[in-house]
Structure 1
Amino acid sequence: MMFMVVVLIASGASGNRFNDEAPQVHVFYYLWYAAKDGKYIHWDHSVLPHWDTRVREKYRDMENKRYNPPEELHSVYYPLLGPYSSADEKTVDQHFAWMKQYEIDAAVLSWTGRQVLSDTQGVKTDDVFPFAIAAAQRYNIKIAVHLEPYHGRSPKSIKEDIRYLKERYGDSLIYKNGLPLIYIYDAYHSSSEEWHQLLCHDGNATIRNDPTTDVYALATILERNELFHLAECFDGIYTYFATDGFTFGATSENWAYLKQFAHQKNKILSISLGPGYNDTKIRPWNSIATRDRRQGAYFQAQLNKAIAADPDIISITSFNEWGEGTQIEPAQPYPHHLPGYDFLLKEEKDHQEAVSNNDPFLYLELLRKAKRSWKEQRRRLFLRTNLRDEV
């Protein structure tokens, strides 16, 4: 059984206050890319083995293969900016300029722990956090934190993480009910009792009512039963996955139910969705999770369903998770002279759909139009409600 958590950490600045009435669009933003002196990190991600030995055997010849950027990436798509570094200020600035242009409210920054820690590919995201935060401040984009399951993560370490994040980055984060906003991924790594001790007011190690550690927390819901025990002391829920049907939370047919549950329990709801999904270059055995983009039709349908459910937040998976093919960051056709192009011809016949008839900004534009439509829907509902109250 899997379970994840989002913690909302917000800054004290009035400009970073979370507006309960206005529709909010957040994007999951990844900081684990490196490209320096011919060395590429994460773009060269290794092929992952399957946990079932019978399935694993079918892909044994690909196991642990590493890709060779810039000629061949770990993604079936190719960035418009090429394989870049998350420490490159010009690149990060361009990302946040696009977010501002296309009316995205907040970037949820992937964080793999304090400075001594790194992810499985050797990336220390805390080192490059300042680049993203500086760009966000330039373009008035709010920031939340997506806390990754780093080695040794526990509710106890998370309490210290929160204290560290608030002290170091607090002025750049987003507030909800006066508290900061952090997303915590893969909470199922800890027991519900451990989360109770950390997040419930009567917990022995509670973060509550302590200005150095208290947060507004959302839990990622994978299965329905998690709503009733693991989510007990969280302040809200989110769904994360871009593959419709992958989990209970990620199944669009369940979003109306999640909205009703969140409303009844006085919790915030963030519905996550994406433009498609394809991770077959790093998980060749996972084609069952693939969702074709269909020239933007999949994304548009998911946006429409989320707007109909009318959550507090729509969170986009993702801005730039290239390995799982969920990015809305502009792409270009895979260069024909590169080895990666041959792979796409065999395995991903729609390899150019990310640029959608040579429009690399299609997915950003679809998101902007959807947000405006959602905002108009919310405005009309507000007017109808007030008119009814006056009558």
Structure 2
Amino acid sequence: MKNKLFVTLGLLGMSMLAYAGPKHSQETSYPSYKGLIMAGYQGWFRGPQDGTNQGYGHYGSGKQFDEKHCTIDAWPDVSEYEKTYETPFRHADGSKARVFSSADKSTVDLHFKWMKEYGVDGVFVQRFFSNTRGEQQNSVPNRILTNALEAASKYDRAIAVMYDLSGLKKSGEDCSLIMEDWKRLVDNEKVTNQVGKKTYLHHSGKPVVAIWGVGFPDRPYNIRNIGLDRLIDFLQNDPVYGGCTVMLGVPTFWRSLEADCINDPYLHTVIKQADIVLPWTVQRFSPLLHNDMDRFRDLVIEDIRWCKENGVDYVPAVTPGFSWHNLSKLEFPDDVKPVGSIPRQGGRFYWQQLSTAMLAGAEMIYVAMFDEVDEGTAIFKCTGEPPVSDTAKFIDMDGQPSDHYLWLTGEAARMLRKEIPLTFTMPVRK
């Protein structure tokens, strides 16, 4: 009888330990970031009748979207969307210009369908600090994340969560809100245990969670007192919600602690606690500067050397270009940026970064961004024939088709995996 009791208690203890283990699925189509090109996914665009009551969110300011309130510099090609929304803008032929809403399930499905068709490996879904306040159970960002998880499973694309610290206040808040939010996402949204095909991105056998915005001097928070060490420890070691790979988004010059980075060696302490470092190089390099790709190459080489010496993996960021004209007119009227301040050059600048990063030794890449038309960095389908306007100005596609950057990304992913040779010459479709 005593032996039976001990056996029963032992089995009960084992079952309790199993229950207390990580809630993440060990199964995934993407066990490593290495060999993949991932993009950032904002998912923050809104339409006036999409049920969110956010007007033309992120297309314009104050829910409005017209020549005086326009905040985008690239216009999406909406010819394939199931749902679109009329705007006050008109094309050259007089037809009303339309936009999509990220809140529509069909929109998210189409985006992941494109990823599958063109060979884009997947996306990090951006989750801003404001999304961590309160329960957020029925929030629009949660709905979009749920739709993205379903679409990622449907089209077998990698997906991961990237927390953006933008919105973290100077005092009274810390990263404990992210810990509680991660628990909710794991429990309620099943982010690391999708229904259907499991595609949550893993690295070193563990699900990846990214924290972006660490070490930038223009932020109101001090990284020494927002609990970053506790957050990293929680994500890596919590017996139920941990067991994760942590990726930190940091400034370009994080290694030297200068220029766009805070001059605080504590940043290196935090990076060494993490597993992957992602330097943010958008606007730091330009095809208009002589030999700038040599500078980019040297930076990546030295970054990788530091990371190897300190046991951290490294992923460089690349972008097709940058344009912030319309938004800058509203936010910085005394410093309005030109249209296409970092020109795309028909994809040549994008391909230069991709091939240079690979030559320098990069084994995985982050693209900024998949759907960011505010800053003109989107790689998804944008039109070369945007609306005409006397006030708002938009970039075009330099004569390239709207899917050009999706196609280039797919080709680069093949090149990264050595399925095709490394070349600095931008490929041409046959």
TM range (shorter): 0.7 to 0.9
2:213–2:250 Cα contact (<8 Å) kept: no
Match of 1:185 among 212, 219, 224: 212
Match of 2:36 among 2, 6, 24: 24
CA shift for structure 1 position 379: 9.6
2:168–2:174 Cα contact (<8 Å) kept: no
Q: Deviations over 1:53-73 (max 9, x none)?
A: xxxxxxxxxxxxx75259974
Match of 1:266 among 307, 311, 328: 311
Partner of 2:119: 103
Match of 1:162 among 170, 182, 185: 182
Partner-residue secondary structure (3-state), 1:137: helix
Letter in 2 for 1:19: S
CA distance in 1, matches of 2:185, 2:303: 30
CA shift for structure 1 position 161: 2.1
Structure 1-normalised TM-score? Answer: 0.75
The 3 A distance-change label for structure 1 pair 207 and 376 is closer
Residue correspondence of structure 1 range 37-56 to structure 2 within 5 A: 37=49, 39-45=55-61
Letter in 1 for 2:279: T
Match of 2:248 among 204, 208, 219: 219
Could you tell me which runs of 5 or more consecutive residues in structure 2 were left unpaired when the two chains were aligned.
1-21, 79-97, 195-199, 216-220, 258-264, 287-294, 330-334, 423-430
Partner-residue secondary structure (3-state), 2:316: strand
The 3 A distance-change label for structure 1 pair 108 and 10 is farther
Partner of 2:348: 297
CA distance in 2, matches of 1:330, 1:379: 26
The 3 A distance-change label for structure 1 pair 17 and 76 is closer
CA shift for structure 1 position 319: 0.4
Name the count of aligned residue pairs: 332
Match of 1:318 among 357, 369, 374: 369
Letter in 1 for 2:232: L
Partner-residue secondary structure (3-state), 2:317: strand
CA distance in 2, matches of 1:308, 1:333: 31
Residue correspondence of structure 1 range 356-367 to structure 2 within 5 A: 356-367=398-409
Residue correspondence of structure 1 range 318-337 to structure 2 within 5 A: 318-336=369-387
Partner of 1:91: 107
Partner-residue secondary structure (3-state), 2:406: helix
The 3 A distance-change label for structure 1 pair 139 and 69 is farther
CA distance in 2, matches of 1:325, 1:184: 23
The 3 A distance-change label for structure 1 pair 335 and 364 is closer
1:192–1:230 Cα contact (<8 Å) kept: no
Q: Deviations over 1:306-360 (max 9, x none)?
A: 1112323201000011111100011113444x43x6532xxx6xx223xx32511
Letter in 2 for 1:329: F
Compare 81-90 and 190-199 and name the one that shifted more.
190-199
Letter in 2 for 1:182: V
Partner-residue secondary structure (3-state), 1:229: helix
Could you tell me which runs of 5 or more consecutive residues in structure 1 were left unpaired when the two chains were aligned.
1-8, 47-65, 381-391
The 3 A distance-change label for structure 1 pair 360 and 67 is same
Q: Deviations over 1:272-315 (max 9, x none)?
A: 11100111211242638931111111111111111112323201
CA distance in 2, matches of 1:305, 1:96: 27
Structure 2-normalised TM-score? Answer: 0.69
Letter in 2 for 1:307: M
CA distance in 1, matches of 2:349, 2:285: 13
Partner-residue secondary structure (3-state), 1:238: strand
Bigger share in helix: 1
Percent identical pairs in the alignment equals 17
CA shift for structure 1 position 378: 9.7
